[in-house]
């Protein structure tokens, strides 16, 4: 296991700090200390180093390694340094500029003391042509004319004062370019880095690039890293185009060697306190590097000058909050599979808390080493509940899930907890592409998997249909003789018959009295019918109040009860008035009877009884006729509402389409709080790959014709020499798309239902959503490079599916992906997927099982988990890409591992 099993993490690095060995150290350096004072100073430096938040220091004393060597000696003697400390040196180098030009070399802490001495021994002090030493610096000071020496602190008699000569020489001497190059050659290329200040003291920015172009190019290309604190210059070195640099950034990149170069910012501390407390000038411009605190870790910023280093005040690792699986623990050796008598199952070894990086984790291993078993077990144990899992979910297997940086929860596999992550199992993409379930998957990705015909709209359609059917059924009611009860013509005939009978008993002598009598009969019948209807209305109103109050209380008890007092009182008054009217008519008819009795000589009782019977029958028939007319009006209104159903269907289909389109637009444009990097990542995943999606209303004519056949008498559509059965059906219905479907539904369906060639329920095919959705629905339609999904290759479909999967959940849940290379085109992996994962890992944890070296190396995985199978026991170790152990495993296990590292170097023109 690596010393840093969690892999590359953001840490605070100070790559430019001085010890008392520097000639200009505050409050005096080693030269003015006694041996006891020097020992105490070293102890205090070590104490401050151990107590600081800085993980890595580079000692960059002027002209010497003495400070670093003193710290190293104290460490070896028992003053344990708990942080990484690199040897470095700050020099002044000859240049054609009129300004001083400083240059640093940071060296590996694995170099021997002799190698450091060999490096320094190759450096020659300009003018005196002697190897760098205190004596050579003193000799250089003697070569200065007194006027120049005086500018640097020379006083009377300075030439006889070795300390004064050293101070003046240290301030003014320069090493030669030639010797600097020879000194670098003494150190292996992977053990040293040249750091050049830019907009810092003695920085290269002071070179007049117009007048001294060669000098400018020499130093810009010589530097491996640059010390810089201005963000605009950091962007320039990184090759990141901005409005401020867009006109000259390409020329600048050519000047620095045609590749981005990393920038760092050291504290440049010149005090013992500086090892614990940053100077005010540099406190907000600290260097954060995502790497192991090793020299190999530092070298990663050359390969990743943008992703691996930041100059800012706070830790970049906490700048974006994302959930992630932070560790996996197996408390006891266990088999993930059920026991099988035919073979011995592999077993998970105990795993005392394998920490997982929050960025890109790659799980690698040879065939049968359990690389897929680990993540598949994790995915099945803590993913969406599945009824079919090949594993035995064991309480010995547990994970820690980080909701954010500090909030965590612990879950074991047996408890059945579902954690929020996306798991794509091995060959899942290819399976879904080949089985044609991508459309449903895309709906789920878009969050519109529940998108269906609105239930309220469907209820309204059913209500409209029900009202029409109810009124039609009322008109079709028969009596015991099988005759229509509500036949208008029959009732009008009976009214005429009774009117004729009434006329037959009316004479000139009795006409006036008989008409008054029968009019009163009519009024009483009308009043009685009104009372009946008022009582019904009274009951209906009370029932409506009860139902409304119950519904309202379910919504919110604060809704007041329905007040129908005024309506009930109004009904009561009308009932009283009607009863009074009846009484008035009855009194009038009693008087008419008395008058008749005085002048009528015939059968008065029979006459009035017949008149009452005929008039009563006429009024009842008229009431029935009125009811028929009312029902006809209601039927007409219901039919009119039914004709709006096609419009409701069209509106609902367009609503579904707009929902999909709006969701897609949101995905493309992003959320208001997205950063420019997030928006750029989304553009690279979708727009740059010409992936587009729209909601489309699908009318499947073939399925529609097949459904039609089920409700038609096909003998009426027999094929002819010229036309097939389908052709004749199309000719009859003239439906071939949504709009012709809706027109037919509105204008012809009610007529066609009655045709003899209809043998089933034709209307249900149009009105019932379950039947209709078989051929009329809204789908998200995807195109890739202008071509629809069905015209793409399996690999291209997999590419589209994965891009959509990533785009719809880019900045939320962790992604666990088992061997993407099995589902996707290799060209896509190399040219595009690597770039996608490099971007996505900033915003979500990505765990990949892979045997593709490019996904590990060129996607710059923060952590590599190496799986091994040792006699049936599955073991897992981990580390960073810069760790020699895991680096070797990548080269050994993954085919093309060495080539992948070469590609990474070629990407930045490195050798």
Write down the pLDDT at residue 695.
87
Same domain, 107 and 248: yes
Write down the pLDDT at residue 622.
83
Strands (E), 718-812: 776-784, 787-788
Write down the pLDDT at residue 734.
92
Same domain, 666 and 757: yes
Same domain, 148 and 69: no
Residue holding tokens 């009528």? 600
Does residue 804 form part of some domain?
no
Q: How does residue 647 score in pLDDT terms, banded at 50, 70 and 90?
A: very high
Give the pLDDT mean for 798-813.
78
Whether the full predicted model's pTM is greater than 0.85, yes or no, is: no
Does residue 4 form part of some domain?
no
Same domain, 466 and 404: no
Write down the pLDDT at residue 784.
84
Question: What's the CA dihedral at 62, 63, 67, 69 to 10 degrees?
Answer: 150
Buried b / exposed e over 201-233, threshold 16 CB at 10 Å, is ebbbeebeeeeeeebbbbbbebbbbbbbbbeeb
Does residue 437 form part of some domain?
no
CATH of the domain at 53: 3.20.20
- Among the residue ranges 494-498, 686-690, 812-816, the one predicted with the least confidence is 686-690
Assess contact for 746 and 643: CB atoms under 8 A.
yes
Which among 638, 653, 675 is the end of a domain? 638
- 336: which DSSP letter? S
What range defines the domain where residue 748 resides? 645-787
What is the dihedral sign for C-alpha 452, 453, 459, 465?
negative
Give the pLDDT mean for 902-907.
67
How many domains does the chain divide into? 5
Q: How does residue 911 score in pLDDT terms, banded at 50, 70 and 90?
A: very low
Give the pLDDT mean for 367-382.
90
Round to whole Å and give the CA distance between 179 and 132. 10
Instruction: Write out pLDDT tens, residues 237-247.
Output: 888 888 888 88
Mean pLDDT, the chain, rounded, equals: 86
Residues 6+ apart with CB under 8 A from 745: 645, 646, 649, 766
Which among 591, 612, 638 is the end of a domain? 638
Give the containing element (helix H, strand E) for 596. Answer: helix 565-599
Write down the pLDDT at residue 462.
85
Round to whole Å and give the CA distance between 609 and 343. 106
Give the pLDDT mean for 230-243.
89
Q: Which residue, among 861, 860, 793, has the nearest Cα to 827 in the 3D structure?
A: 793
Give the pLDDT mean for 308-320.
91
Which among 318, 338, 354 is the end of a domain? 318
Same domain, 133 and 264: no
Does residue 446 form part of some domain?
no
Same domain, 306 and 188: yes
Does residue 444 form part of some domain?
no
Alpha helices in 360-487 (DSSP H): 371-382, 428-435, 438-446, 455-475
Does residue 1 form part of some domain?
no
What is the dihedral sign for C-alpha 727, 729, 732, 735?
negative
CATH of the domain at 877: 3.40.50.300
Assess contact for 314 and 393: CB atoms under 8 A.
no
Same domain, 480 and 623: yes
Residues 6+ apart with CB under 8 A from 235: 242, 244, 245
Give the 3-state secondary structure of 520-555.
HHHHHHHHHHHHHHHHHHHHHHHHHHHHHHHHHHHH
Same domain, 489 and 561: yes
Instruction: Write out pLDDT tens, residues 651-681.
Output: 999 998 998 888 888 888 777 778 888 888 8
Question: What's the CA dihedral at 717, 718, 723, 727 to 10 degrees?
Answer: 30
Same domain, 204 and 292: yes
Q: How does residue 854 score in pLDDT terms, banded at 50, 70 and 90?
A: confident
Q: Residues of the chain with pLDDT > 70: what percent?
A: 95
Give the pLDDT mean for 120-145.
90
Does residue 864 form part of some domain?
yes
Give the 3-state secondary structure percentages of the chain, helix then strand then coil, rounded to 5: 50, 15, 35
Same domain, 302 and 332: no
Does residue 5 form part of some domain?
no
Same domain, 188 and 99: yes
**Rounded to 5 degrees, what are φ and ψ at 264?**
-130, 165
Write down the pLDDT at residue 797.
78
Token representation of residue 576: 């009283």
Q: How does residue 459 score in pLDDT terms, banded at 50, 70 and 90?
A: confident
Write down the pLDDT at residue 466.
82
Round to whole Å and give the CA distance between 197 and 205. 8
Same domain, 851 and 902: yes
User: Greater confidence, 805 or 41?
Assistant: 41
Write down the pLDDT at residue 450.
63
């Amino acid at each position: 296991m690596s010393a840093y099993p969690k892999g590359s993490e953001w840490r605070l690095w100070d790559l430019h700090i001085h010890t008392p060995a520097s000639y200009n150290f505050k409050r005096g350096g080693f030269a003015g200390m006694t041996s006891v004072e020097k020992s105490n100073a070293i102890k205090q430096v070590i104490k401050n180093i151990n107590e600081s938040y800085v993980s890595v220091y580079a000692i960059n004393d002027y002209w010497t390694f003495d400070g670093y060597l003193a710290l190293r000696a104290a460490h070896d003697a028992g003053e344990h340094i708990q942080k990484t400390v690199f040897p470095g040196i700050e020099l002044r180098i000859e240049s054609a500029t009129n300004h001083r030009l400083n240059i640093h070399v940071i060296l590996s802490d694995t170099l021997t003391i002799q190698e450091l001495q060999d490096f320094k021994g190759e450096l020659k002090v300009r003018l005196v042509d002697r190897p760098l030493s205190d004596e050579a610096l003193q000799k250089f000071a003697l070569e200065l004319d007194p006027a120049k020496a005086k500018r640097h602190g020379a006083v009377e008699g300075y030439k006889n004062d070795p300390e004064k000569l050293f101070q003046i020489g240290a301030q003014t001497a320069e090493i030669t370019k030639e010797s600097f190059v020879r000194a670098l050659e003494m150190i292996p290329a992977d053990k040293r880095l040249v750091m050049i200040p830019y907009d810092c003291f003695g920085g290269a920015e002071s070179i007049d690039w117009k007048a001294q172009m060669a000098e400018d190019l020499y130093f810009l290309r010589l530097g491996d890293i640059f010390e810089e604190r201005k963000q605009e210059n950091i962007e320039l070195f990184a090759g990141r185009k901005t409005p401020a640099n867009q006109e000259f950034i390409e020329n600048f990149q050519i000047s620095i060697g045609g590749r981005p170069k990393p920038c760092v910012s050291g504290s440049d501390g010149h005090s013992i306190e500086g090892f614990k407390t940053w100077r005010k000038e540099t406190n907000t411009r600290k260097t954060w590097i995502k790497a192991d605190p090793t020299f190999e870790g530092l070298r990663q910023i050359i390969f990743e000058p943008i992703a691996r280093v930041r100059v800012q005040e706070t830790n970049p690792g906490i700048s974006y909050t994302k959930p992630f699986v932070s560790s996996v623990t197996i408390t006891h050796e266990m088999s993930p599979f059920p026991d099988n008598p035919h073979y011995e199952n592999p077993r998970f070894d105990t795993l005392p808390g394998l920490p997982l990086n929050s960025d890109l984790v790659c799980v690698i291993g040879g065939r049968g080493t359990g690389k897929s078993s680990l993540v598949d077990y994790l995915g099945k144990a803590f993913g969406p509940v599945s009824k079919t899992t090949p594993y035995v979910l064991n309480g010995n297997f547990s994970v820690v899930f980080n909701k954010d940086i500090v909030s965590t929860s612990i879950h074991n596999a047996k408890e059945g907890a579902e954690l929020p992550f996306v798991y794509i199992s091995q060959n899942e993409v290819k399976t879904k592409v080949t089985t044609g379930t991508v459309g449903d998957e895309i709906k789920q990705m878009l969050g519109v998997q529940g998108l269906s015909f609105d239930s309220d709209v469907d209820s309204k359609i059913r209500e409209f249909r029900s009202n029409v059917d109810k009124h039609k059924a009322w008109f079709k009611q028969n009596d015991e003789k099988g005759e229509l009860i509500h036949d208008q013509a029959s009732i009008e005939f009976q009214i005429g018959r009774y009117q004729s009978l009434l006329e037959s008993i009316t004479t000139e002598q009795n006409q006036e009295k008989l008409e008054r009598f029968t009019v009163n009969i009519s009024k009483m019948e009308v009043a009685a019918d009104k009372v009946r209807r008022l009582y019904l209305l009274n009951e209906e109103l009370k029932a409506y109040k009860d139902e409304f109050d119950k519904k309202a209380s379910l919504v919110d008890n604060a809704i007041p009860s329905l007040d129908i007092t005024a309506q009930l009182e109004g009904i009561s008054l009308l009932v009283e008035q009607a009863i009074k009217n009846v009484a008035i008519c009855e009194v009038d008819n009693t008087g008419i009877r008395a008058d008749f009795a005085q002048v009528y000589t015939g059968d008065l009782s029979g006459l009035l009884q017949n008149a009452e019977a005929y008039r009563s029958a006429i009024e009842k028939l008229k009431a029935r006729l009125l009811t028929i007319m009312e029902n006809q009006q209601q039927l007409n209104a219901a039919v009119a509402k039914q004709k709006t159903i096609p419009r409701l269907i069209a509106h609902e289909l367009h609503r579904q389409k707009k929902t999909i389109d709006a969701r897609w637009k949101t995905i493309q444009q992003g959320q208001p709080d997205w950063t420019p990097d997030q928006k750029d990542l989304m553009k690279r995943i979708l727009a740059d790959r010409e992936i587009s999606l729209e909601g489309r209303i699908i009318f499947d004519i073939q399925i529609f014709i097949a459904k039609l056949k089920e409700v038609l008498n096909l003998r009426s559509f027999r094929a002819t020499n010229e036309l097939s059965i389908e052709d004749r059906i199309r000719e009859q219905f003239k439906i071939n798309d949504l709009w012709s479907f809706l027109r037919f539904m509105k204008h012809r369906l009610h007529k066609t239902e009655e045709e003899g060639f209809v043998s089933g329920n034709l209307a249900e095919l149009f009105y019932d959503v379950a039947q209709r959705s078989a051929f009329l629905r809204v789908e998200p339609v995807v195109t890739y490079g202008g071509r629809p999904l069905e015209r793409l290759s399996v690999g291209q479909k997999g590419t589209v599916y994965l891009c959509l999967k990533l785009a719809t959940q880019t900045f939320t849940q962790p992604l666990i992906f088992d061997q993407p290379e099995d589902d996707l085109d290799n060209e896509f992996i190399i040219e595009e997927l690597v770039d996608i994962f490099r971007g996505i890992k900033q915003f979500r944890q990505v765990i990949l099982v892979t045997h593709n070296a490019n996904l590990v190396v060129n996607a710059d995985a923060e952590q590599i988990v190496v799986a091994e199978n040792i006699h049936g026991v599955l073991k897992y170790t981990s580390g960073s890409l810069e760790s020699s152990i895991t680096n070797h495993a990548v080269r050994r296990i993954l085919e093309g591992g060495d080539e992948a590292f070469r590609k990474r170097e070629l990407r930045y023109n490195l050798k």
